Every structure is written in C-alpha cells, then in structure tokens.
Amino acid sequence: MVVMSKPAMEHHCAATTLFPEIPLIDLSKPDSKNLIVKACEEFGFFKLINHGVPTEFITRLESEAIKFFSLPLSEKEKAGPVDPFGYGNKKIGSNGDVGWVEYILLTTSNEANYQKFSAIFGEAAEKFRFAVNDYVSAVKKMAYEILEMLADGLKIQPRNVFSKLLMDEESDSAFRLNHYPPCPELNQETNGMNLIGFGEHTDPQIISVLRSNNISGLQISLKDGNWISIPPDQNSFFINVGDSLQVQRPP
Ligand SMILES: C=C1C[C@]23C[C@@]1(O)CC[C@H]2[C@@]12CC[C@H](O)[C@@](C)(C(=O)O1)[C@H]2[C@@H]3C(=O)O
Ligand SMILES: O=C(O)CCC(=O)C(=O)O
Ligand SMILES: [Fe+2]
C-alpha cells in the first residue's frame, strides 16, 4: 500500500537534503560484491555504473515510451486497465491508492510479454515491443549479476540462490514504465487531490532496478526516518533493496 504520511508539499520540502552520499558501485570492479552487501545493509540503496546495459537499448525504449505517453488519453486507455498488466492512470495497485502518475505494467518474462504486449497494445506496436524486450533482457542480465554477487558477498550457496528466482519463467518480477505528467497548479479541481507522483511505499521484490531520464523526484527513506532526494543520472541505474531481501535481525 502507498502511505501518505504528510501533505504533498510538506513532504517535498522536508526531503531536500542531499547528504549522506549514496553508495556507488562499479559493476566492472572485482571488489563489488562486498561493497554491494555493505550498501544493501547500511543504506538499502545504491547507484550502479558500468552496468553493461547498452545505451542504445535505453534510448530506444525511452523514445518509444515517450511516443506512447504522448498519445491522447483515449488511445492509451485502450491498453488498460491494469489487469494484471497494461496501462494505468492515477490508480496504483489494488488498494485504491492514487498518484500523479501514468504507467505501463508488464511482466519481465519475454515469452509472456510477447503475448501480453500484442494483446494489450496490438500487433502494430512492434517497435515498442522490441524495445521493451531488448531492454528487459539486458536489465535482467545485469540483475542476475548483482544477485549472484550479493549471494557471493553474503557467502550463501549456491550463488544462483536469488538469481534463479528471477530466471524462472514463472517469476512474478515486474517491469514498470512510470510517466509523471507536469503537475498542475493547485486549483479548485485538484485541491485536496494527492499530487505526489508515486507515494511512500516499499517494493515487495528482492531488488528493484530503477532508472530515470534525468528528471529528479525520487526520494528514499534512511534508517533514521529522514527522506533524501536522489539526484538523477541519465547513465546509471539505482538499486533498491526490496522487502523479500530485507531481513530484520531479532532484537
Ligand atoms: C500501491 C502499490 C502498487 C504496488 C503494490 C503497492 O501496494 C506498493 C508497491 C507497488 C509495487 C512497486 C513495484 C512493482 O511495480 C509492483 C508491481 C509491485 O510489486 O509493488 C507495484 C505494485 C502495483 O503496481 O501493483
Ligand atoms: O518512478 C520511480 O522513480 C520510482 C517508482 C517506484 O518506486 C516504483 O515503481 O516502484
Ligand atoms: Fe518502488
């Protein structure tokens, strides 16, 4: 469930600190596994460079997504509602949560996506489907590497203990494209409405792989409860520890 802890403006103002520094992991460096474990334990979040996902895949997906989100609402709604995949607007998840966001939700299984994509977007959306498949395949490959390094770093065997869950064709891992439209001035119509893009929540997965097209807005909560803004970076990914990986030690 998305929790709205504070009114949107208050929440935004409270989250302006850029300190402390976000852990940076260079996936090409041999000592990354230990740094990944440290970042996950201490921060639950890190920035990833030299990740191996081709820039071309990122650019192509972004341009196809922009094309889709620029369509008239009536056209986009033909790809909805989210059931369990498809196009969603303002309604997030199944708990009645709302946000100032429109999105596409898909599975990460290429085989299932092929079928779903054509059913949701029509056969004509071939370029978009190829862009999604190339991007999802490359990001999954990167995620396998992170998950295997994590198992190594935690000295858990076999090293594919986490990655095999994502490799499973039946995996419930999700691929989400979020678009945050410009936020209107507060007026009679929007007054009282939740103008936060995607409210406070945790992700239920093992890890989430995030990327932003150089637009700020993402905030994370630290152990002490303070929220910090994450400066966007066009060429990096950000990894978030999900509920399934987080283990609470007994007091
Ligand atoms: C409001 C919600 C949407 C979400 C489930 C949740 O209760 C909180 C987490 C959301 C999230 C984020 C990651 C994935 O995109 C997602 C599919 C998931 O498993 O958790 C979404 C959920 C959703 O959109 O249904
Ligand atoms: O759009 C974002 O940057 C993050 C949204 C998010 O937390 C999610 O999709 O789970
Ligand atoms: Fe999330």
pLDDT tens readout for residues 176-194 = 999 999 887 767 666 666 6
Q: Residue 214: its pLDDT value, please?
A: 87
Distances (CA, A) of 164 to 45, 52, 145, 245: 22, 20, 11, 14
Q: What's the CA-to-centroid distance between 210 and ligand 2, angstroms?
A: 7
Domain of 216, in residue numbers? 7-53+84-114+135-231+241-245
* Percent over 70 (pLDDT), the chain: 87
Whether 150 is in a domain gets the answer yes
Tell me the CA–centroid distance for residue 30 and ligand 1, in Å: 33
Q: Are 56 and 135 in contact (CB under 8 A)?
A: no
Q: How do beta strands 174-179 and 97-107 pair?
A: antiparallel
Domain count, the chain: 1
Structure tokens at 247: 């283990």
Residue 58's SS3 state is: helix
> Is the pLDDT at 228 greater than 70, yes or no?
yes
Q: Which residues have their alpha-adjacent CB atom under 5 A from ion ligand 3?
A: 203
**CB–CB of 30/228 below 8 Å?**
no
Residue 11 confidence (pLDDT) = 41
pLDDT attached to residue 9: 40
Q: 92-104 pLDDT, tens per residue?
A: 999 999 999 999 9
User: Which residue among 176, 177, 206 has the greatest number of ligand 1 atoms within 8 angstroms of its CB, and so is best to mutate?
Assistant: 176
Give the pLDDT confidence score for residue 6 in this predicted structure.
45
Token pair belonging to 95: 């708990």
DSSP annotation of 163 reads: H
CB 41 within 8 A of CB 53: no
Average pLDDT score, the chain: 88
Nearest atom in ligand 1 to 205's CA: 19
Q: Is there a domain that residue 71 lies in?
A: no
Task: Write down the pLDDT at residue 19.
Answer: 63
Q: Is residue 196 part of a domain?
A: yes
pLDDT of residue 196 exceeding 60:
yes
203 lines ligand 1 (CB under 6 A): yes
Confirm whether 129 is domain-assigned: no
Higher pLDDT, 144 or 12: 144
DSSP 84: S
Could you give the CA distance from residue 39 to residue 87 in angstroms, rounded to a whole number?
34
The confidence score (pLDDT) of residue 194 equals: 64
Residue 64 domain-assigned?
Answer: no
Q: Is 91 in the pocket of ligand 1 (CB under 6 A)?
A: no
Whether residue 146 lies inside any domain: the answer is yes
Q: Per the domain annotation, does 75 fall within a domain?
A: no
pTM of the predicted protein model: 0.90
Calculate how far, in angstroms, residue 203's C-alpha sits from the geometric centre of ligand 1: 6
Please indicate, yes or no, if residue 223 is contained in any of the structural domains: yes
Q: 100 C-alpha to center of ligand 1: Å?
A: 15
Q: Which of the four pLDDT bands, split at 50, 70 and 90, describes residue 218?
A: very high
Tens of pLDDT, residues 10-50:
444 344 454 678 999 999 998 899 999 999 999 999 999 99
CATH number, domain of 155, equals 2.60.120.330
